[in-house]
């Protein structure tokens, strides 16, 4: 047994000065025959901070002589590096665009240690012993189509000033590694993209306002959510977060034969494809759900309530919720009564008030408005803080109201008489009409879970006042 190894110690993880670069001390069990170690153990290492990075390939670089030196290369995938025999001096340089660009970490790695190297961090090593076997897991296959996502920096860069144990003029290097650019000329690795689907919808516009040029946007002309081939319709390889703000939302239309098929195609089959796309590309999927997944018999809905949809639209959203749970890295954002930039209840009531129309508005459906700027901000908050994956309810806060209550507030704000709004039951409102979907009576969502992450939510009354001010000003 080698005297250089630490035997029978606990499995531990240590973060470095490079964000995401984590060193693992591995338990090594030895006897007179040699030693054994669990080189990569997903179940034990995930709780210690190893990302569930989904390796697809295991490579081994055998280095016959001491002083063999390779790098510094940053590829568009994550790596988990260890040594089977021998020892290396490793050097890692952050080549990702951002404040940590150029940060360095160096250390010796023997068989009792391993290191997780996130995408965009340059990797190099120099062997310290003959017959060193350098092993690494990667979560993507090499592709000539991805060469523009690679970055390199010179091993002898004077700014990095890496103290190689064996001077580079006496080390074994390839000509290509000797000619890599210096840090000042190295190409920063651009972070993976956040892609917003349904970019022209109410939520899509709010997400555009939230992210600006930090995200990419796709409307139907770019990605048709009714396609059977979403995986090949778009290059997803550099997408890190998919926000699905696209859906078939015609609640009554979904009850028709044609609408039913479209609703299942867009709300369920497309989501199924997105789950597989996210899984294959190690991306996070954010999918927007609805209060319609509940039958509305509970007055307040939390994230643990069993699904109980009434109509086709609700059934499709509930089915999508179940499919999304098969992807570990997901956020299901459940919301209700959405108001944003586009045709919606608030704009309709304001217009009727200004025209002097006296509408009948249902007063036996209860909930809270959700404004899309609040919804977009909540989505970004969860992603940015790396909140635990799962389902989060998001709506504006404050007292539960009926649609008629909201209409009266809007009529008064528009300078009309709130009494011009006539409350009416849902049954009376739809009397004589066919193809009408059932509505949940109670749609109020409990938002305790997202508030517990530190997200502050304005009341629906505050958000409505701001919305009215932005859209109509003093008119």
Q: What pLDDT was estimated at residue 44?
A: 95
C-alpha distance across the termini of the chain, in Å? 84
Tell me the average pLDDT across 409-419.
95
Mean pLDDT to the nearest integer, 286-304: 97
Choice among 80, 136, 248, 366 that is catalytic: 136
Q: How many Cβ atoms are within 10 Å of 196's Cβ, its own excluded?
A: 29
Q: Which of 6, 7, 29, 73 is catalytic?
A: 73
Please give the average per-residue pLDDT across 82-109, as a whole number. Answer: 96
Instruction: Tell me if residue 136 is catalytic.
Output: yes
Say whether pLDDT at 3 is over 60.
no
Per-residue model confidence (pLDDT) at position 5: 76
The single residue listed with the structure tokens 């988990």 is 80
The rounded percent of the chain whose pLDDT value lies above 70 is 99
Q: What is the pTM of this model?
A: 0.88
pLDDT tens string 37-80: 999 999 999 999 999 898 999 999 999 999 999 999 999 999 99
Structural domains in the chain, sorted by start: 12-185 (2.60.120.10), 193-472 (3.40.50.720)
Per the annotation, the verdict on 292 as an active-site residue is no
Q: Name the nearest CA neighbour of 284 among 54, 26, 445.
A: 54
> How many of the other CB atoms lie within 10 Å of CB of 453?
13
Residue 199: which of 220, 214, 224 has the closest Cα? 220
Q: Tell me what the pLDDT averaged over the chain comes to.
A: 95
pLDDT digits (tens, 9 = 90+) for 333-380: 999 999 999 999 999 999 999 999 999 999 999 999 999 999 999 999
Give yes or no for residue 1 having a pLDDT over 50: no
Closest CA to 346 of 455, 453, 439, 461: 461
Q: Which residues lie below 8 Å from residue 222, measured CB to CB, with a gap of 6+?
A: 234
Tell me phi and psi for residue 30, to 5 degrees: -125, 155
- CA 207, CA 212: separation in Å to the nearest integer? 8
């Amino acid at each position: 047994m080698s005297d250089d190894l630490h035997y029978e110690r606990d499995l531990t993880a240590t973060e470095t000065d490079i964000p995401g670069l984590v060193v693992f001390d591995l338990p090594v069990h030895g006897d007179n025959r040699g030693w054994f170690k669990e080189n990569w153990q997903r179940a034990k290492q995930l709780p210690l901070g190893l990302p569930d990075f989904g390796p697809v390939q295991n490579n081994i670089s055998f280095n016959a002589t001491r002083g063999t030196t390779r790098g510094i290369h940053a590829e568009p995938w994550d790596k988990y590096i260890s040594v089977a025999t021998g020892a290396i001096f490793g050097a890692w340089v952050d080549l990702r665009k951002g404040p940590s660009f150029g940060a360095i970490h160096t250390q010796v790695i023997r068989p009792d240690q391993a290191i997780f190297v996130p995408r965009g961090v340059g990797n190099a090593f120099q062997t310290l012993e003959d017959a060193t076997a350098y092993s690494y897991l990667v979560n993507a296959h090499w592709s000539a189509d991805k060469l523009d996502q690679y970055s390199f920096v010179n091993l002898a860069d004077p700014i990095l000033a890496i103290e190689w144990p064996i001077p580079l003029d006496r080390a074994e290097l390839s000509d290509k590694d000797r000619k890599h650019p210096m840090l000042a000329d190295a190409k920063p690795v651009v972070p993976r993209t956040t892609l917003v689907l349904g970019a022209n919808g109410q939520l899509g516009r709010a997400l555009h306002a939230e992210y600006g040029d930090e995200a990419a946007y796709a409307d139907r002309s770019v990605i048709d959510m009714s396609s059977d081939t979403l995986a090949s319709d778009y290059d997803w390889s550099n997408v890190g977060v998919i926000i699905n703000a696209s859906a078939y939302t015609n609640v009554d239309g979904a009850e028709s034969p044609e609408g039913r098929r479209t609703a299942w195609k867009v709300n369920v089959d497309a989501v199924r494809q997105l789950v597989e796309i996210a899984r294959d590309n190690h991306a996070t999927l954010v999918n927007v759900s609805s209060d319609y997944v509940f039958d509305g018999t509970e007055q307040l809905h939390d994230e643990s309530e069993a699904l109980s949809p009434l109509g086709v639209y609700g059934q499709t959203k509930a089915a999508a919720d179940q499919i999304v749970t098969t992807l570990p890295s997901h956020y299901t954002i459940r919301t209700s009564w959405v108001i944003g930039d586009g045709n919606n209840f608030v704009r309709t009531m304001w217009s009727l008030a200004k025209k002097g129309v006296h509408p009948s508005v249902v007063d036996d459906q209860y909930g809270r408005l959700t404004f899309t700027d609040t919804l977009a901000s909540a989505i970004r908050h969860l992603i940015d803080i790396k909140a635990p994956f799962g389902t989060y309810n998001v709506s504006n806060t404050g007292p539960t109201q009926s649609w008629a209550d909201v209409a009266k507030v809007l009529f008064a704000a528009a300078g009309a008489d709130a009494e011009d709004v006539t409350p009416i039951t849902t049954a009376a409102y739809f009397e004589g009409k066919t193809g009408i979907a059932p509505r949940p009576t109670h749609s109020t969502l409990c938002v305790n879970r997202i508030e517990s992450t530190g997200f502050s939510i304005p009341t629906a009354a505050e958000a409505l006042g701001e919305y009215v001010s932005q859209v109509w000003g003093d008119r």
